[in-house]
Amino acid sequence: MAKKNSNSNNNNSDEFAFNKKIFATPVLVVTLIVMFLLIFNPIAIVGVGERGVKVTLGQVSPKSYTEGVHFVTPFISKIKNMDVKTQKMYVDTEVYTKDIQQARISYVINYNLQPQNAYKMYREVGLDYTNTILMPVVEGTIKDVIGKWNAQDLVANRESATSDIIAKLQRQLESKYINVTGFQITEINYSKVFEQAIESKVTAEQEALKAKNRTVQIQEEAKQKIISAEAEARSMKIRSDALAKNKSLVQYEAVQKWNGVLPTYMMGNAVPFIGMDSVTRK
2: left (phi over 0), alpha (psi -120 to 50) or beta: alpha
In angstroms, rounded to a whole number, what is the distance separating the alpha carbons of residues 66 and 81? 10
In angstroms, rounded to a whole number, what is the distance separating the alpha carbons of residues 193 and 232? 59
User: What are 183's strand-pairing partners?
Assistant: 109
Number of residues that make up the chain: 282
Tens digit of each residue's pLDDT (9 = 90 or more) over 163-218: 999 999 999 999 999 999 999 999 999 888 776 766 667 656 666 777 677 777 77
In angstroms, rounded to a whole number, what is the distance separating the alpha carbons of residues 139 and 168? 12
Number of H helices, E strands in the chain: 9, 8
Tens digit of each residue's pLDDT (9 = 90 or more) over 43-80: 889 999 999 999 999 899 999 999 999 988 888 899 99
Amino acid at 81: N
**Quick one: 84-195 is in which CATH superfamily?**
Band 7 domain (3.30.479.30)
| 99 close to 151: Cβ distance less than 8 angstroms | yes
Share of the chain above pLDDT 70, in %: 66
**Beta carbons within 10 angstroms of residue 168's beta carbon:** 19
In which band, very low, low, confident or very high, does the pLDDT at 92 lie, cut at 50, 70 and 90? Answer: very high
pLDDT, residue 133, reads: 96
The mean of the pLDDT values for the chain is 79
Q: Which residue has the higher pLDDT, 23 or 28?
A: 28
Q: Which residue has the higher pLDDT, 273 or 119?
A: 119
pLDDT, residue 263, reads: 58
Model confidence, pTM: 0.59
